[in-house]
Structure 1
């Protein structure tokens, strides 16, 4: 019923608290779709906002959370179709944005999932992966906090170099 990438997003969001991975799986899915629905962008930005908040990047967190709130506020029907309570979600984002603006410390957030079958399915996946659904983020896990700096980016660097050379070649012709 739901895209696998969305279920993976929820598992990362509530199980491992790996917001960077939430961003990665949902962005890849969003980019693969012929009709790029804005609801996915809002959920991606929510995860990125929480990633920034956990890292103490309050400006980045505020920007992403404000954008997520704006997009998801316009996409309430789509949010509801994803088994989430849109009113509660928007309230949570507003409260988190307020916390960020006041430079309060990060705390983990649980999305308001209303589809009990989806919730059970995600909890089962977490159990299979030895993750605890809803457990707070580990503040000492450097990989979670600084994943964008610590991950292997060799494929991204190669792709950028290829694009750079390709563009230079096209300009010459």
Structure 2
């Protein structure tokens, strides 16, 4: 029916409002395809989640840039958006409204993506039954609290390789 990563993303998006986790889930799924086969619309959904994450943290500059990118991508991906059980027109209107709120530095408010497929809604509800829906500082500052050892090691290795190639 739909990729399980997408259902997991929607559950985190609508129940926990853990936008950082939404980003992690879809980015991992998106990267499973070879670079030339990666679907652009997943980037639109990833950037939407990260925009809301930034808005919640009052990083309106980052939120504005990401919501604008998300909107641009998802506007162009009508068939893909609709194949994912969403109302494309309502989604675009929602993103435009969210973009305006971010531009006005309005405080974060959660949004509901306009799901149209009842089977998808039921799948998300089933997965979300154990979710609490509580917002806390962990969700707001998750990127600072996670273990980034592997990322930092990979960056250091790339830095050393670049230095070695220049020498």
What TM-score bracket applies, with the shorter chain setting the length? over 0.9
| Number of equivalences | 165
Residue in 2 that maps onto 1:40: 42
Alignment of 1:26 onto 2:26: yes
User: How far, CA to CA, are the matches of 1:104 and 1:168 in structure 2?
Assistant: 44
User: How far, CA to CA, are the matches of 2:83 and 2:25 in structure 1?
Assistant: 19
Counterpart selection for 1:84 from 75, 83, 86: 86
Residue in 2 that maps onto 1:103: 105
Q: Which runs of 5+ in 2 are unaligned?
A: none
**1:50-129 correspondence runs (5 A):** 50-127=52-129
After superposition, the CA RMSD in angstroms is 1.4
User: How far, CA to CA, are the matches of 2:90 and 2:67 in structure 1?
Assistant: 15
Residue in 1 that maps onto 2:151: 156
When normalised by structure 1's length, the TM-score is 0.90
Counterpart selection for 2:141 from 146, 166, 169: 146
Structure 1 stretch 107-116 or stretch 27-36: which is displaced more?
27-36
After TM superposition, which residue ranges in structure 1, 4 or more long, deviate above 6 angstroms?
Answer: none
DSSP 3-state at the match of 2:105: coil
User: How far, CA to CA, are the matches of 1:164 and 1:155 in structure 2?
Assistant: 14
Deviation of 1:9 after TM superposition, in Å, equals 0.8
When normalised by structure 2's length, the TM-score is 0.93
User: How far, CA to CA, are the matches of 1:3 and 1:171 in structure 2?
Assistant: 43
Q: Which runs of 5+ in 1 are unaligned?
A: none
User: How far, CA to CA, are the matches of 1:164 and 1:72 in structure 2?
Assistant: 34
Alignment of 1:17 onto 2:17: yes
DSSP 3-state at the match of 1:103: coil
Cα deviation code 1:152-173 (max 9, x no counterpart): 111111111222223334445x
